[in-house]
Structure 1
Amino acid sequence: MNWGHKIIIVFVVFAVGILTLVTKSMRTKIDMVTKDYYAEELKYQQVLDGKKNAGTLSSPVLISQQSEGIAVTFPQELHGTGITGKIKFYRPSDAGMDVEMPLQLSSDGMLVINRQLFHKGNYLVKVQWENGGKPFYQEESFHIN
């Protein structure tokens, strides 16, 4: 085999490698943080205000795992008040595993979420609520076993 054939073989192998990389990259699923990223960015001042207001509470919102599900417990001073808002369990590795629901608290300021809605792994829990016209926001990492 002469050197001309070897150059052609190198070019063919290179072209096949590039086509393989392009094909794999086109098939890779890419999840954005949120679908409406720019609209969320415009509302970020509300998040900052909510974090500041949540810092004034006697204790943070507690999130724990129990046998019946994931328990979300609000501070004592918010029990029985008209809290409206939502909780989102954001799964960074797969947007299809995100869980979002409205806050529907019991009289003792607790929300229990069915464990069957979740897959094992890491979540970023974002709790956003309003009470007395003031926005509140809390965010924390949480691992579900």
Structure 2
Amino acid sequence: MKINWGTGLVIGMIFFIGFILFFVIKISTDKKYDYDLVTEEYYKKELVFQKEIDDRANSNSLEANIIGKKTEKGWMLTFPENLDYTKITGTVFLYRPSNKNLDFQEPLKLSSNSLVIADERLVAGRWNTIVQWSYEGKDYLYKKEIVY
């Protein structure tokens, strides 16, 4: 049986469309490809944006800000040496843009001027580190994107 070029073109287009539809359906139904790129309660977070700006300005007015670096134990956040670490209170929030199930928050409990987030809690990839902290009644904010 001989197929002319028009019939071959239509058959080729049908296979191509079927191929594309297969991947669209697979990606939209498979939980493995489910990515949450926006935080929940997005508009609620936008309402407190001015406080965030003020807290960042307070952080920038310090002699030294928080320093984050990778160590063999995990991700270490070092607070300024000139501050009394016993008066620092707040929270550390690590946000994973690609998977909200990996997000976690923990209170600041400092036994020295540094805090180590254990390797076991951090999966390789991009993380947003948000430290909201207070010192002597003044609020501060540290935000940093890290690739772990």
**Correspondence 1:19 to 2:21:** yes
Where does residue 41 of structure 2 map in the other structure?
Answer: 36
Say whether the 8 Å CA contact 2:90–2:134 is kept in structure 1. yes
Where does residue 135 of structure 2 map in the other structure?
Answer: 131
Which residue of the other structure, out of 109, 116, 121, is the alignment partner of 2:120?
116
Unaligned stretches of 5+ in structure 1?
Answer: none
Where does residue 92 of structure 2 map in the other structure?
Answer: 87
Tell me how far apart the structure 1 counterparts of residues 64 and 49 of structure 2 sit (CA, whole Å).
23
What are the superposed Cα offsets for residues 28-82 of structure 1, whole Å, 9 maximum, x if unpaired?
4121331221111112112111100000111110112223332211112332453
Q: Give identity over the alignment, percent.
A: 33
Count of residue pairs the alignment pairs up: 143
The residue type paired with residue 84 of structure 2 is: H
- The two structures, once aligned, show a CA RMSD in angstroms of 2.6
Where does residue 143 of structure 1 map in the other structure?
Answer: 147
In the TM superposition, residue 113 of structure 1 has moved relative to its aligned partner by 2.1
Where does residue 73 of structure 1 map in the other structure?
Answer: 78
| TM value normalised by structure 2 | 0.76
Which residue of the other structure, out of 97, 102, 116, is the alignment partner of 1:97?
102
| TM value normalised by structure 1 | 0.78
Where does residue 52 of structure 2 map in the other structure?
Answer: 47
Say whether the 8 Å CA contact 1:46–1:135 is kept in structure 2. no
Unaligned stretches of 5+ in structure 2?
Answer: none
Tell me how far apart the structure 2 counterparts of residues 38 and 72 of structure 1 sit (CA, whole Å).
29
Give the ranges of 4+ consecutive aligned residues of structure 1 lying more than 3 Å apart after TM superposition: 1-15
In the TM superposition, residue 2 of structure 1 has moved relative to its aligned partner by 6.8
